[in-house]
């Protein structure tokens, strides 16, 4: 049965990097096939995965404003184009939303994805959605049920507060979230007492579980600066060992 994993958090907290590291983990554990959806207008998940982007949903939207081929309905043409937009790799496919219709608007792009999400999801074990800051577009993408919601934060009071607010708005948005995890990225070592207190308070006051506190990683920075895929990071890398231990605990109930 397909399980939906969604990323949320304020900008710059490592949602995309966490998505790439999670994809690496699931691929390594052979918990496949995966569908990765890059729902950020500033799409760069493909760069962390080492793949090139061709067609995006934003481009499909523009094409649908014109004439469709003879003998095809607009919905049929849209479904065809979305399947063409899937970037197929070993163990995973990637779908990129691209630029929205206007400032802050993903209405048409989300509508197109929602219309085919049920058909797409049947082909995958997990769907990973890398979101923009905020949660509203999740409710538009036919992803009302989220099995795992990873709310990322940086090691700051504002980041932790934003994570708490995101957790709080899942109910008003009508999202059925089965498991919520707080991940604090790029944390100093040792973790300052004040930061520990902020994290503890946020977890206590929400439905979140502390998934893990992830230290800053020079190896990860070097990998990104060199333009290399996160999928190529070695098993002996400290960040991989840390993230593997975290995900081993979270996905302990999922059988191979």
Sign of CA dihedral 5, 124, 233, 54: negative
Tell me the C-alpha distance between 54 and 77, whole Å. Answer: 17
Beta strands in 17-132 (DSSP E): 34-38, 87-88, 92-96, 126-130
Beta strands in the chain (DSSP E): 3-8, 34-38, 87-88, 92-96, 126-130, 145-153, 176-187, 208-215
Mean pLDDT of the chain: 86
Expressed in percent and rounded to 5, the helix, strand and coil fractions of the chain are: 45, 20, 35
Better pLDDT: 179 or 43: 179
Q: Tell me what pLDDT residue 3 has.
A: 93
**Residue entry with tokens 């498991």:** 179
120-173 pLDDT tens trace? 888 899 999 998 766 656 655 556 789 999 999 999 999 999 999 999 988 887
Query: Taking 80 as the threshold, does the pLDDT of residue 255 lie above it?
Result: no
Residue 41 domain flag: yes
Q: Tell me what pLDDT residue 45 has.
A: 93
Q: Which two structure tokens, joined as six digits, stand for 109?
A: 């792009």
pLDDT bin (cut points 50, 70, 90) of residue 119 is: confident
Least confident of 138-142, 223-227, 243-247, 250-254: 138-142
pLDDT bin (cut points 50, 70, 90) of residue 10 is: confident
CATH number at residue 25: 3.40.50.300
**Residue entry with tokens 């990873």:** 150
- Of all residues in the chain, the percent with pLDDT exceeding 90 is 54
Residue 153 domain flag: yes
171-193 pLDDT tens trace? 887 788 999 999 999 999 899 99
- Of all residues in the chain, the percent with pLDDT exceeding 70 is 85
pLDDT bin (cut points 50, 70, 90) of residue 111 is: low
Residue 7 domain flag: yes
Q: What's the domain range around 75?
A: 3-250
Domain count, the chain: 1
Residue 255 domain flag: no
Nearest residue to 86 via CA among 35, 130, 135? 35
Residue 190 domain flag: yes
pLDDT bin (cut points 50, 70, 90) of residue 80 is: confident
Residue 223 domain flag: yes
Burial of 118 (0-12, 13-18, 19+ CB in 10 A): exposed
Residue 62 Cα distances to 78, 83, 86, 124, angstroms: 11, 16, 17, 28
């Amino acid at each position: 049965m397909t399980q939906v994993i969604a990323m949320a958090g304020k900008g710059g907290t490592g949602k995309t990097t966490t998505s790439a590291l999670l994809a690496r983990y699931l691929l390594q554990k052979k918990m496949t096939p995966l569908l990765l959806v890059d729902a950020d207008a500033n799409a760069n998940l493909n760069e962390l995965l080492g793949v090139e982007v061709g067609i995006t949903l934003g481009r499909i939207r523009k094409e649908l404003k014109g004439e469709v081929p003879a003998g095809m309905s607009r919905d049929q043409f849209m479904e065809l184009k979305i399947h063409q937009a899937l970037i197929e790799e070993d163990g995973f496919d990637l779908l990129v939303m691209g630029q929205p219709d206007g400032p802050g608007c993903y209405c048409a792009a989300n509508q197109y994805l929602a219309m085919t999400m049920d058909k797409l999801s049947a082909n995958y074990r997990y769907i990973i959605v890398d979101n923009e800051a905020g949660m509203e577009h999740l409710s538009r993408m036919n992803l009302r049920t989220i099995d795992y919601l990873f709310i990322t934060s940086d090691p700051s009071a504002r980041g932790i507060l934003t994570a708490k607010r995101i957790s709080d708005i899942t109910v008003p948005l009508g999202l059925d979230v089965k498991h919520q995890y707080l991940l604090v990225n790029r944390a100093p070592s040792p973790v300052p007492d004040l930061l520990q207190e902020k994290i503890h308070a946020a977890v206590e006051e929400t439905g979140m579980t502390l998934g893990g506190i992830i230290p800053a990683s020079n190896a990860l920075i070097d990998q990104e600066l060199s333009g290399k895929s996160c999928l190529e990071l070695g098993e002996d890398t400290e960040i991989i060992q840390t993230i593997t231990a975290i995900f081993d605990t979270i996905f302990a109930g999922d059988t191979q």
